[in-house]
Amino acid sequence: MTNSITQPDFAYFFLSLILEGAPYILLGTLISGFIDVYMPSGLHEKILPKKKVPAILMCGLLGIFIPVCECAVVPVIRRLVAKGLPVSCAFTYMLAAPIVNPITWFSTATAFSEQQQWLVTWSRMGLGYLIAVTVGLILMIVPIERILRDSLLKVIRSEGDRVDDAECSSHSHSGKCGHHEHHDHAHAESCCDHAHHHCDHSHSHDHAQDHKGHKTEKSSPDRLVLAMRSAMRDFIDVGVYFSIGVSLTVLFNLSIAGNNSVLDGLAANEWSGTATMMALAFVLSVCSTSDAFMAATLHTFSYGAKMAFMVLGPMLDVKLIFLYQTVMRGRFLLWLSLGLFIGVGLLCIGWQAIVEVILSR
């Protein structure tokens, strides 16, 4: 039987979750704004390995250097994908970063200081990394058109066209005629003469524009202002979905409050206990930096069930469903959600069996 939901209770829990998540949303959108303005397209090609599999493995560890929670990582991913980062690498970072980062590591170690501290902490990091990398490897063979929303695909294509235009302009300015290498020497000279004439014309045109250079520079917006504007647009876009997700989360939380006896009964079985903890992680939508403290207090549940709670929650919950909709297609999001639920559950149950065998020796 569900408890009655009062307006003051709803307002209290709604504001609690908003105040908990909004700073991370703001942080993520600020990062995305600076990426939009300051990060050149194709920069990831200089940083990540050329081969996809090593690149995915590396992206699973980027959370160590860019520690963001699940709320902040979504707007960052939107911008990175728009800048040309492969979807497989982006999703690997998106799923792993909320778990594989120093803040989550420290909070988990603190929460389980009296419950096999290092085993729980490192198991959470390892299982989260394994799930994220597995998803990234699977996405290598999935067409991008089935994953991303049309609006994001348009941004990616426009960004790619802008890069191509910039490269074309760069080659023309340098006077390179590589596309005529198969022609004879006389034609090559003609081509280069034409390119030289074009460069002279461009140079004289640019020289004529120099007289207005100071005025143009002053009239154009500062790059910092452009970054703030981009961050503001992302914050409004993501904030709407986040608010809807928080509202549903509060309704669920108030509805299931006080049913501890039911939870204790489900905890008696390993399979039902693990499924229950994952359902709680999805519904409660606790931040990855603090969910370990809640898991540590649920003593009736097994080690594997608690691990499933702490691994699935940062990857999939009610508010994330709405945030993910700003990036992914609905059908793909459904399959991703089912895959994460089943994959995390089986992995955590199997890992508990392995740990029990090791500890029994």
> Could you read off the pLDDT tens digit of each residue along the chain, which spans 361 residues?
445 667 787 888 788 777 766 776 677 667 766 766 776 666 666 778 889 999 999 999 988 887 777 777 888 888 788 878 899 999 999 999 889 988 789 888 888 888 888 999 999 999 999 999 999 999 999 999 999 999 889 888 776 655 455 445 544 444 444 444 444 444 444 444 444 444 344 444 444 444 444 444 444 568 788 878 877 876 776 677 667 767 766 776 676 655 566 666 777 788 999 998 999 889 877 777 777 877 887 778 888 999 999 999 999 988 899 889 989 999 999 999 999 999 999 999 999 999 888 888 7
- Write down the H helix ranges in the chain: 7-38, 44-47, 52-59, 70-82, 87-96, 102-111, 117-139, 150-174, 185-209, 213-219, 223-256, 260-267, 270-284, 291-297, 303-312, 318-324, 330-360
Amino acid symbol at 294: M
Q: Are 311 and 128 in contact (CB under 8 A)?
A: yes
Q: With b meaning 16 or more CB within 10 Å and e meaning fewer, what string describes 240-251?
A: ebbbbbbbebbb
Beta-strand runs (E) in the chain:
none
| Alpha-carbon torsion (29, 35, 98, 90), positive or negative | positive
The predicted pLDDT at position 45 comes to 67
The dihedral over CA atoms of 71, 74, 75, 78, expressed in degrees to the nearest 10, equals 180
Residues 73 and 29: their CA atoms lie apart, in Å, by 9
Q: Are 155 and 147 in contact (CB under 8 A)?
A: no
The predicted pLDDT at position 233 comes to 73
Q: Are 129 and 63 in contact (CB under 8 A)?
A: no
